[in-house]
Amino acid sequence: MDLSQSMKISAAGMKAQSFRMRIISENIANANSNATKPGEDPYRRKIVTFANMIDDSVGVKRVRVKKVTVDKSDFGLSFDPGHPGADENGYVKKPNVNGLIEAMDMKQAQRSYEANLNAVDVSKNMTMRTIDLLR
């Protein structure tokens, strides 16, 4: 594998992690999006799934986003009888977004992005050193 291929692999990882960060940001932004009508569901947390894809032009496996699914965990309940989304017992469904989990996922995505960025930087430096040797 040459150095340009390693940069392409790392770039694919960076792209996948940046997409993951967008989904995490969407989850955090909707963490307080309660149901607006009785019986209606609030925002459901989204989860990104990755897959390996064989790139024929390079001949290696690259990571890509396989799909975005919703978290099937239960919604929280909050007692607020005056809310327009309250049921007959006065409870409002809350999104199944946990800020602590989102923060941990965000930190993991950030670290993965940085690791891929460092790999690109090392490959670039090795390429530059090779060019210097050939002069």
Task: Show pLDDT as tens, one digit a residue, over the chain (135 residues).
Answer: 577 788 888 999 999 999 999 999 999 999 999 888 888 899 999 999 999 888 777 677 888 899 999 999 999 999 999 999 899 999 999 999 999 999 999 999 999 999 999 999 998 898 889 888 888
What pTM was estimated for this model as a whole?
0.84
SS3 category, 126: helix
Nearest to 12 by CA among 66, 55, 64, 68: 64
The domain segmentation of the chain, as residue ranges, is: 3-134
Question: Following DSSP, what letter does each residue of 68-110 receive, concatenated?
Answer: EEE--SPPEEEE-TTSTT--TTSEEEE-S--HHHHHHHHHHHH
In the 8-state DSSP scheme, what is residue 12?
H
Size (the chain), residues: 135
